[in-house]
Amino acid sequence: MDKPINQYAWWQKGIIYQVYPRSFQDSNNDGIGDLQGIIQRLDHLQWLGIPALWISPIYPSPMADFGYDIADYTGIDPIFGNMDDFDELLTELHNRDMKLILDLVPNHTSNQHPWFIESKSSIDNPKRDWYIWHDPLPDGSPPNNWLSVFGGPAWEWDENSKQFYYHAFLKEQPDLNWRNEEVKQAMMDVIRFWLKKGVDGFRVDVMWHMIKDKQFRDNPVNKDYENHMADYEKLLPVYSTDQPMVHDIVREMRAVLDEFGNRLLIGEIYLPVHKLVTYYGHENKGAHLPFNFLLLGLPWDASVISSVIDEYEGALPENGWPNWVLDNHDQSRITSRVGFMQAKVAVILLLTLRGTPTIYYGDEIGMRDVPIPFNEVMDPQGLNMPGKNLSRDPARTPMQWDDSLYAGFSGSRPWLRIDKSYARENVAIQKNKPFSMLTLYHKLIALRQSEPTLMVGDYKPVYSNNQMIAYIRHAEGSSRFLIVLNMSHRPCYFKPQHEVFTGQVVAATIPELEDMRIDGDINLSGDEGIIIKLDN
């Protein structure tokens, strides 16, 4: 902490909560969540202490990839409501002093977007160059070996114009050509449209995909590929993603946000740390927060996690603000990856590390991945690569609000089935239970948001071994905190070497540990984690 707390930006002090709109709350009983539904549930989010919402795409879309295939960047899909509903949501949020972050999907459009329809209509259409069209090789095959993230080749043949177009995802999601100046200007206008409405920021979808190799060279083979992995991982996407010129675009996006002031630019980027941090941009003029997905893919092992935290902290550019994520709508839920008890340890980690945390809806009640029978699978990634357990549906099931039919999510059968345990595990029930996940989230958020040290203070590793990790958060003129997390199921023992820590436990995975005095050694049972407010 190198300046007074009030000089930090809202998104540095804040917490982001991701809403997957299809699954949050249905207000019109069509089985699909919508904007009015989100409005109805703002009380919950306010009670929980959430300062900022990020909502996955709500724009008009044929829903081939559930909204990540956009047919109109400045409208609202009727399934979610209309522009009045959107304006109401934004006003309601701002009235509560909460922020709204939209999902922006600039890498590709829907194949139903008028831009693509025009582009496809003929080889000399003025919008032809807005997408990535390429002649076949002399033998008629695709221009190169690039693969689609969702399975199969990334090139789709257009019989009419006798060319291929490139799609990093579904063939219904053609990639825009970001080397084309008009494309860039059109998307900057989209950004301005929403910023003028008062939107507080964007989460930019697949930011590292936006520019591809100009020469379209073949991607090399991934020698570490194993059969259970997605087909896409057979190659290393070194020519199809993360090209240097992408940083120019990110900088331009950021400049548009800066025209308005006080807005946030997040980038969805799955890259190793040393590449990820380049997205902060030269002199931090790139993304404010390149999403940090490190905790998502690693084994839940204290020594691994502690060294990765240090690696990340060490790699950050000066004044680059950190951020942490446990899961999202594309990944397994944290509860399913590490188990219910460790999910409590995980949220203490998330909410006490240095940097902005993002919480995925439903994690606050410990929602699990829900097994979706084959004949009910909706996600194209699951449908295209059956048998590999790659469907993202399990992490996208309806929010469990109460024990009524359909869990209070909807009055009719939801688009995805609800966890069978919903009558036991829901917001209404957990709200009154001292041992519940929800109570823990509520306490941790309140603590974090009332302690400048936890919001913006420095991070210092203290100790770690194969079971546990301990670190300190400190800030001049504010309380000091020691966090000790047992990431194993067995008891662990912490004998501090250089300092005798004394203080009081202010939050813990279980209420029995709260208010306990600490004086020297710390012993924890399996799956326990504590936050200690130190005496000095």
| Interface residues toward ligand GLC, by CB under 6 A | 65, 68, 105, 169, 205-206, 268, 329-330
CB of 405 to ligand GLC, least distance (A): 29
**Alpha carbons 364 and 334: distance in angstroms, whole number:** 11
First-residue to last-residue Cα distance in the chain: 17
CB of 360 to ligand GLC, least distance (A): 12
Q: Is 189 a catalytic residue?
A: no
**Alpha carbons 487 and 492: distance in angstroms, whole number:** 9
In the bound state with ligand GLC, the residue whose beta carbon lies nearer, of 166 and 406, is: 166
Beta bridge partners of 533: 481, 504
Is 526 buried (19+), middle (13-18) or exposed (0-12) by CB count in 10 A? middle
Query: Among 189, 259, 283, 499, which one carries the catalytic annotation?
Result: 259
In the bound state with ligand GLC, the residue whose beta carbon lies nearer, of 39 and 71, is: 71
In the bound state with ligand GLC, the residue whose beta carbon lies nearer, of 390 and 427, is: 390
Tell me the two tokens of residue 40: 């109805």
In the bound state with ligand GLC, the residue whose beta carbon lies nearer, of 395 and 445, is: 395
**Alpha carbons 462 and 279: distance in angstroms, whole number:** 29
**Alpha carbons 262 and 192: distance in angstroms, whole number:** 14
**Alpha carbons 268 and 279: distance in angstroms, whole number:** 10
Q: Is 205 a catalytic residue?
A: yes
- The DSSP 8-state label assigned to residue 399 in this structure reads P
CB of 18 to ligand GLC, least distance (A): 10
CB of 496 to ligand GLC, least distance (A): 42
Query: Among 26, 205, 327, 425, which one carries the catalytic annotation?
Result: 205
Phi, psi of 155 (to 5 degrees): -115, 135
**Alpha carbons 69 and 63: distance in angstroms, whole number:** 6
In the bound state with ligand GLC, the residue whose beta carbon lies nearer, of 329 and 480, is: 329
Tell me the two tokens of residue 214: 């100009």
Q: Nearest residue by C-beta to ligand GLC? A: 68
Residue 244: CB atoms within 10 A of its CB come to: 8
CB of 150 to ligand GLC, least distance (A): 8
| Per-residue exposure over 340-375, b if at least 16 CB sit within 10 Å of its own CB, e if not | ebbbbbbbbbbbbbbbbbbbbbbbbbbbbbbebeee
Q: How long is the chain?
A: 536
CB of 287 to ligand GLC, least distance (A): 15
80 contacts 88 by C-beta, under 8 angstroms? no
In the bound state with ligand GLC, the residue whose beta carbon lies nearer, of 145 and 331, is: 331
Catalytic sites, residue numbers = 205, 259
